[in-house]
């Protein structure tokens, strides 16, 4: 909705009651299928074995880091992430077997404007395309938007990262454009696709996600009976 000031200039929605949001401290979130917790060095063991079970490192092509070659390198990698000042690095723990199945980062947290970004999403094969991965992202969005009242979540990814783009679109993120020559990663220039979800559309996205996540939408092997798009 547009507004006009006394000069006849167009402005965005009036928000005179807006106040800066709280900066989140360390937190853990619990769902039906997973826990989202701060990254810990104790999580390195599970992920080292999961990453080394893959024949190659193609899952790391669009990530800033490299797959740790040794267990000690994996521990050091986790220490670096935990000590980084660029965001909150989180782990996803499968409640079924208490193993860590993936990590991601919540970054660009801006309480003044109520915005944040999800980045560096690194799912193991056991987590990809599962209800756990969907629930993990849902828990974070619900926490920031519903509990902390943030108003915008961004998702940026390399324009060639088809898996991340499809995941963003499936969840309901809207594409806003391309950030050209935004980064240089591993010796290559990166154009980034920018997606977002804003608070005003979150309610309509949340309802089908919660319906899709219900236990009666999955068989005994955890396979979906209906796709997320079928609930929209």
This prediction has a pTM of: 0.94
What pLDDT, on the 0 to 100 scale, is given for residue 90?
Answer: 98
Of all residues in the chain, the percent with pLDDT exceeding 70 is 100
- pLDDT band at residue 38 under the 50/70/90 scheme: very high
* pLDDT over 80 (residue 2): no
What pLDDT, on the 0 to 100 scale, is given for residue 153?
Answer: 99
Sheet strands (E) in the chain: 3-4, 10-11, 29-30, 34-38, 87-94, 99-110, 115-123, 152-158, 174-185, 188-198
Contacts (Cβ under 8 Å, ≥6 apart) of 104: 89, 90, 92, 118, 119, 120, 121, 122, 136
What pLDDT, on the 0 to 100 scale, is given for residue 49?
Answer: 96
Q: Residue holding tokens 């309610």?
A: 203
Q: List, for residues 188-220, the tens digit of each pLDDT value.
A: 999 999 999 999 999 999 999 999 999 999 999
* pLDDT over 90 (residue 100): yes
C-alpha to C-alpha distances, 7 to 3, 4, 20, 94, nearest whole angstrom: 11, 7, 28, 57
- Can you tell me the distance from the alpha carbon of 134 to that of 129, in angstroms, rounded to the nearest whole number? 8
SS3 81: helix
Q: List, for residues 146-173, the tens digit of each pLDDT value.
A: 999 999 999 999 999 999 999 999 999 9
- Can you tell me the distance from the alpha carbon of 158 to that of 168, in angstroms, rounded to the nearest whole number? 12
Q: 128-151 in b/e burial notation, b at 16+ Cβ within 10 A? A: eebbbbbbbbbbbbbbbbeebebb
Domains of the chain plus CATH, in order, are 26-231 (3.40.630.30)
């Amino acid at each position: 909705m547009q507004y006009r000031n006394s000069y006849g200039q167009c402005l965005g929605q009036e928000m005179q009651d807006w106040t800066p949001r709280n900066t989140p401290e360390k937190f853990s979130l619990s769902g039906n299928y997973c826990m989202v917790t701060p990254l810990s060095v104790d999580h390195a063991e599970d992920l080292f074995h999961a990453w080394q079970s893959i024949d190659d490192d193609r899952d790391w092509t669009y990530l800033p880091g490299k797959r740790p070659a040794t267990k000690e390198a994996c521990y050091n990698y986790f220490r670096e992430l935990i000590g980084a000042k660029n965001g909150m690095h989180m782990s996803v723990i499968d409640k079924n077997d208490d193993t860590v199945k993936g990590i991601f980062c919540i970054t660009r947290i801006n309480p003044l404007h109520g915005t944040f970004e999800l980045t560096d999403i690194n799912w193991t094969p056991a987590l990809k395309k599962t209800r756990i991965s969907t629930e993990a992202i849902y828990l974070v969005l619900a926490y920031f938007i519903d509990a902390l009242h943030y108003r915008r979540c961004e998702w940026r990814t390399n324009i060639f990262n088809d898996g991340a783009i499809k995941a963003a679109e499936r969840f309901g993120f809207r594409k806003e454009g391309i950030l050209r020559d935004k980064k240089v990663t591993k010796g290559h220039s990166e154009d980034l696709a920018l997606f977002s979800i804003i608070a005003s559309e979150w309610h309509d996205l949340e309802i089908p996600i919660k319906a899709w996540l219900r236990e009666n939408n999955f068989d005994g092997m955890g396979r979906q009976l209906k796709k997320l798009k079928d609930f929209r």
